[in-house]
Amino acid sequence: AEDGYDLWLRHEKVQDGGKMARHATAVVAPGRGATALAARDELMRGLAGANGAAPALADKPMNGAIWLATPASAPDLPVKLDGLGEEGYAIRSVTLDGQSVTVIAANGDAGLLYGAYAYLRLAETGAPLDRLDIRSAPRMKLRLLNHWDNLDGTVERGYAGQSIWDWWRLPDWKGPRYTDYARANASIGINGTVLNNVNARSDSLTAPYIAKAAALADVFRPYGIKVYLSVKWTAPMELSGLGTADPLDPAVAAWWKAKADEIYRAIPDFGGFLVKANSEGQPGPQDYKRTHADGANMLAAAVKPHGGIVMWRAFVYAHDNPDDRAKQAYNDFKPLDGQFADNVLVQVKNGAIDFQPREPFHPLFGAMPRTPLMMEFQITKEYLGQSTHLTYLGPLFEETLKSDTFARGKGSTVARVIDGSLEGHKLTGIAGVANIGADRDWSGSIFNQADWYAFGRLAWDPDLSAEAIAREWAAQTFSTDAKVADRVVAMMMGSREAAVDYMTPLGLSHVMGTGHHYGPAPWISELARPEWNPVYYHKADAQGIGFDRTRTGSNAIAQYAPPVARMLADPKTTPERDLLWFHHVGWDAKLKSGETLWNGLIRHYDAGVAYVAAMRRTWDSLRPYVDAERFAQTQSFLGIQHREAKWWRDASIAYFQTLSKRPLPAGTAPPE
């Protein structure tokens, strides 16, 4: 639909000169399980749209058929499945008894579902379909959305309307939107969802809410998606009047065990718990002088008999950090490496502060070899312009995943830490804080849908490039016509860097307005806790600007592996994009370009604004090719973004100039 409801699953007729007509006129789908049927139905639905004609359902492989096959349904499959696991798939063009058939084969039905979506993706992005020979399996076991949805229907850091979970009418009313949600997620490989906010309320563990969660789990199950819950540490006290939540108290452990048993009776394939403890006012084991490991292991024991897991967040931000907030997670968790139960993952944000437009990778990656670390990205754009700014996050995700921790020498990328290959972990995962709400377009804007899409694709394969993903998304969302797709991809690819430029250039961070995190406020200095204040992060003064995290400052760089720490010790070898994250630099110091830091900062702010102006022109040129509704929304939002990029630039420069006392560089009229 033109309101964006169909996301990237629009299945519009493919302009391919009949390629599909030759390869996808019939579907053979012998499987009878719920997931096999979902795979069949998705394929039928997608082909009907993409081909312009509904395919036939056939009993056995014939010319032009797509054959969904598992070893259970087809004993002598013409495809090897070893190494594909339960979720992987193979797609092959084969000739059987003289008939050309496309086999989508998998060990299990989930693989068929992912294979069906992969085939549609190929067809709808214009790939050749006649000599297919593809094998694909997910690199991460847990590929999860984290909803920060509250039980009252609001969404923390949600910019797409109210929660899509209609708690009031669940468990009875299971609206069609839940199925569409599951389809969208399955189409990009997401296999789990945490339903409620990490700032959790105990109510989510009461019998009525367990029944509601179970109803959602029933809808999601055919699509390979498991349900998880965030839990509040003091739930045993709040719900059952226990006098303590001490994880080593046997009554507390028994309470959680009974609670887990109750949940598994309602949801036999329940995934497990996500926990935010001792952070931003949330209670936790440290309140009882116990460690995060004590807490995580107690919960892990409760879900273990059922095959459940615990995701324990490392976003701890519990006490004043006059020195450097960026160091707290490492200081709290690194000493616990090796102490966690084998069904616990520690979930770490991509950077050490908080989902900034750019952060260097979190120093915990690579630093806890004996603990599976799960990545937490934020898909919802709390700090990157929320619903209206077009800031495609693919490049941000990619940059973090490709960062080299040097934990075991060169090539120890963050991707290899979280996919388990670096340290041989089997339990692996990645989570994205969802940008989904009740808005018709789900994500608050058409272009924000791309961030959800990119997250899922990278969770399946962290080696994909953000650009290739943008291309796929643009083709499915708008058109395979190069006139359209090339321009859309070009806009997207530089858009996050543009936001970095007009918000937080050269490694600045956390200068957003307090609370809402929208718009510039680098001048704020009077808030009670030191690290609530933007001035704490940029540290601008008459001499210069930036946070000294070297030995002369907080020495946070010592948390990185020695080769990284050595590189970051010197401003000359520090990547310029992170310069002010690690160093306090004089206003007149020279950048690589030869200009002074002050002039360079201004050039970056200007470049960010200029990029947005260019996106507006590009988008305007696409008017003939995009439907009126989606065209108008994006056009209007780009107008907001342009105005606000100038606001960011002008307010930031005006404030920093009161400290730098340098003139604006001559001859740089602000580009419009």
Q: How far is the CB of 377 from ligand GCW (least distance, A)?
A: 11
Of the pair 44, 145, the CB lying nearest ligand GCW is at 145
Q: Does position 159 bind ligand GCW by CB under 6 A?
A: no
Q: How far is CA 265 from the centre of its chain?
A: 31
Residue 451 CB contacts under 8 Å (≥ 6 apart), including other chains: 379, 381, 392, 393, 394, 435, 443
Count interface residues toward ligand GCW (CB under 6 A).
11
Residue carrying structure tokens 């050309």: 100
Q: Does position 276 bind ligand GCW by CB under 6 A?
A: yes
Of the pair 11, 517, the CB lying nearest ligand GCW is at 517
Of the pair 221, 292, the CB lying nearest ligand GCW is at 292
Q: How far is the CB of 198 from ligand GCW (least distance, A)?
A: 5
Q: Can 97 be counted among the known catalytic residues?
A: no
Q: How far is the CB of 363 from ligand GCW (least distance, A)?
A: 18
Which residue type occupies 306? H
Residues 568-597 that bind ligand GCW (CB under 6 A): none
Q: Does position 198 bind ligand GCW by CB under 6 A?
A: yes
Q: CA 292, CA 637: separation in Å to the nearest integer? A: 43
**Catalytic residue, candidates 42, 354, 501, 606:** 354
Q: Which residues pair with 103 in a beta bridge?
A: 67, 92
CA-to-CA dists, residue 96 to 28, 100, 103, angstroms? 14, 7, 10
Which residue type occupies 387? S
Give the gyration radius of the chain's Cα atoms.
26
In the list 355, 453, 460, 536, the residue contacting ligand GCW (rule: CB under 6 A) is: 355
Q: Pick the closest to residue 467 from 431, 493, 485, 442 (CA basis).
A: 493
Of the pair 382, 404, the CB lying nearest ligand GCW is at 382
Tokens of 106: 């998998």
Q: How far is the CB of 517 from ligand GCW (least distance, A)?
A: 6
Contact in structure between 582 and 507 (CB atoms under 8 Å) = yes
Residues 289-348 that bind ligand GCW (CB under 6 A): 315
Q: Can 280 be counted among the known catalytic residues?
A: yes
Q: Taking CB positions, which residue lies at the least distance from ligand GCW?
A: 354
Q: How far is the CB of 383 from ligand GCW (least distance, A)?
A: 8
Q: How far is the CB of 24 from ligand GCW (least distance, A)?
A: 44
Residues 370-409 that bind ligand GCW (CB under 6 A): 382
Q: CA 274, CA 272: separation in Å to the nearest integer? A: 7
Contact in structure between 118 and 106 (CB atoms under 8 Å) = no
Residue 663 CB contacts under 8 Å (≥ 6 apart), including other chains: none
Q: How far is the CB of 78 from ligand GCW (least distance, A)?
A: 48
Q: Does position 359 bind ligand GCW by CB under 6 A?
A: no
In the list 199, 202, 555, 635, the residue contacting ligand GCW (rule: CB under 6 A) is: 199
Q: Does position 89 bind ligand GCW by CB under 6 A?
A: no
Q: How far is the CB of 605 from ligand GCW (least distance, A)?
A: 24
Residues 47-76 that bind ligand GCW (CB under 6 A): none
Residue 482 CB contacts under 8 Å (≥ 6 apart), including other chains: none
Of the pair 266, 318, the CB lying nearest ligand GCW is at 318
Q: CA 558, CA 578: separation in Å to the nearest integer? A: 16
Q: Hey, is 480 helix, strand or coil? A: coil
Of the pair 365, 406, the CB lying nearest ligand GCW is at 365
Of the pair 280, 463, the CB lying nearest ligand GCW is at 280
**Catalytic residue, candidates 42, 332, 382, 441:** 382
CA-to-CA dists, residue 319 to 286, 287, 462, 547, 602, angstroms? 12, 12, 34, 20, 35
Q: How far is the CB of 349 from ligand GCW (least distance, A)?
A: 7
DSSP state of 322: S
Q: Does position 605 bind ligand GCW by CB under 6 A?
A: no
Q: Alpha helix locations (H) across 198-284?
A: 207-220, 235-240, 250-266
Residue 540 CB contacts under 8 Å (≥ 6 apart), including other chains: 522, 656, 659, 660
Q: CA 346, CA 313: separation in Å to the nearest integer? A: 6
Contact in structure between 212 and 176 (CB atoms under 8 Å) = no
In the list 6, 354, 399, 501, the residue contacting ligand GCW (rule: CB under 6 A) is: 354
Q: How far is CA 40 from the centre of its chain?
A: 28
Q: Alpha helix locations (H) across 271-360?
A: 292-303, 328-333
Q: Pick the closest to residue 599 from 520, 662, 669 (CA basis).
A: 662
Q: CA 533, CA 88: separation in Å to the nearest integer? A: 47
3-state secondary structure 492-514: HHHHHHHHHHHHCHHHCCCCECC
**Catalytic residue, candidates 261, 280, 486, 570:** 280
Q: How far is the CB of 434 from ligand GCW (least distance, A)?
A: 12
Q: CA 569, CA 210: separation in Å to the nearest integer? A: 51
Reported as type and span, the H/E element at residue 105 is strand 99-105
Q: How far is the CB of 112 from ligand GCW (least distance, A)?
A: 36
Q: Buried (b) or exposed (e) across 606-635, using 16+ Cβ within 10 A?
A: bbbbbbbbebbeebeebeeebeeebbebbe
Q: Hey, is 536 helix, strand or coil? A: helix
Q: Does position 157 bind ligand GCW by CB under 6 A?
A: yes
Q: Does position 527 bind ligand GCW by CB under 6 A?
A: no
Of the pair 280, 342, the CB lying nearest ligand GCW is at 280
CA-to-CA dists, residue 56 to 12, 152, 264, angstroms? 19, 46, 40
Of the pair 178, 315, the CB lying nearest ligand GCW is at 315
Of the pair 228, 473, the CB lying nearest ligand GCW is at 228
Contact in structure between 147 and 77 (CB atoms under 8 Å) = no
Reported as type and span, the H/E element at residue 180 is helix 176-187
Q: Does position 156 bind ligand GCW by CB under 6 A?
A: yes
Q: How far is the CB of 137 from ligand GCW (least distance, A)?
A: 30
x/- mask, ligand GCW, residues 131-150, rule CB under 6 A, reads: -----------------x--
Active site residues per annotation: 280, 354, 382
Query: Given the rule CB under 6 A, which residues bind ligand GCW?
Result: 148, 156-157, 198-199, 276, 280, 315, 354-355, 382
